[in-house]
Amino acid sequence: MTEPKDILQKILNREIYYHEDERCFLNANGDKVYIKSIIFPVTYLNRVAAQINLIDITTSFLYEENLEEINKELNTLVDEKNMLLKEVHHRVKNNLQIMLSLINLDSRYHPNDSDQVLGSAKNRINAMALMHEKIYRSSDLAHINIKEYIETEVNYLFDLYGVENIEINYLLDDLELSMDTAISLGLIINEMIINVIKYAFPNGEDGKLSIILHASSNKVTLILADNGVGAPKDLDAENSSSLGLTVVRGLVNQINGSITRLDRPGTAYMVEFLLE
């Protein structure tokens, strides 16, 4: 940087006719002050002199500095948002492929019952729609509060089927899951809840359903248990060929989890998987 005395000498020698400079100083309080100097030659009493104008530009300088920082932050946010939207688009595509696979599987089990296939597809699509609505209403497009989702989904299904005879007991940890895991878990719960509604209390008797979600260390445990008529004693959750369990097993595999039937009155299943 050229020293002020050198600039001043060049002005007096008429080597240059104009000079601008901006510098930072500390005032008596230790705060930064930005000063702009403008120097140019003038004639005074038939001699060459230099006129120096000093302008305090602290306010405008700090404004521009802050504006530049804000623009950087905004650009970063826009880039992150675009990246997340691309990721959401990719996951929506994957979810639609999951739905297509489930419809194809349902069609093979019920080749002559289109109402059954369409009804199941409707419930699964709604489960996904509820999930995406939760995500898009959130400031975090990558994660979802699964506790709130489970309560919303179960209440929707009970209203849809007009269920009034089953008392629900929730014991749910407040847990955030990635979108992929949450979608699969939501569909698992959808299949299990519909199974309870249709088969656990065939004569409309009063019953209870417990839904437990617990996270310990890096493992998540989901338990759905009812006190209904129960499934056959020899039913193996890992190998059963029934449509419902086939669908659930496929979804459990997607989250690299396991499903176990618990030995207790009624029907109870436990799903376990690791947090990402």
Cα separation, 104 vs 111, in Å, equals 10
The most confident of 32-41, 135-144, 227-236, by mean pLDDT: 32-41
DSSP class per residue in 33-44: EEEEEEEEEEEE
> Helices 179-195 and 146-160 sit at what angle, rounded to 10 degrees?
30
More confident residue, 177 or 231: 177
User: Is the pLDDT assigned to residue 167 strictly greater than 90?
Assistant: yes
Whether residue 14 has pLDDT greater than 70: yes
Of 275, 272, 238, 240, the C-alpha closest to 258 is 272
* Mean local confidence (pLDDT), 92-107: 72
Q: Which residue has the higher pLDDT, 252 or 79?
A: 252
Q: Is the pLDDT of residue 104 over 60?
A: yes
Residue 71 has pLDDT above 90, yes or no: no
Q: What is the largest CA-CA distance in the chain?
A: 116
Strands 207-216 and 166-172, by their bridges, are parallel
Q: Is the pLDDT of residue 269 over 70?
A: yes
Residue 56 predicted with pLDDT over 90: no
- Segments making up each domain of the chain, as ranges: 4-56, 65-274
**Alpha carbons 52 and 17: distance in angstroms, whole number:** 12
The correct answer on CATH 3.40.50.720 for the domain covering 65-274 is: no
Q: Is pLDDT at 261 greater than 60 in this prediction?
A: yes
Q: b/e per residue, 74-94, with b = 16+ CB within 10 A?
A: eeeeeeeeeeeeeebeebeee
Residue 77 binned pLDDT confidence (cut-offs 50, 70, 90): confident
- Say which range, 137-151, 201-215, 244-258, has the weakest mean pLDDT: 137-151
pLDDT at 90: 67
- At 237, the pLDDT band (50, 70, 90 cuts) reads low
Rounded to 10 degrees, the C-alpha dihedral 157/136/188/258 comes to: -150
- Alpha-carbon distance 34 to 29, whole Å? 14
Q: What is the DSSP string of 30-98?
A: S-EEEEEEEEEEEEETTEEEEEEEEEE-HHHHHHHHHHHHHHHHHHHHHHHHHHHHHHHHHHHHHHHHH
Q: Say which residue the tokens 């809840």 belong to.
A: 193
What percentage of the chain reaches a pLDDT higher than 70?
86
Identify the band that residue 206 occupies on the pLDDT scale cut at 50, 70 and 90.
very high
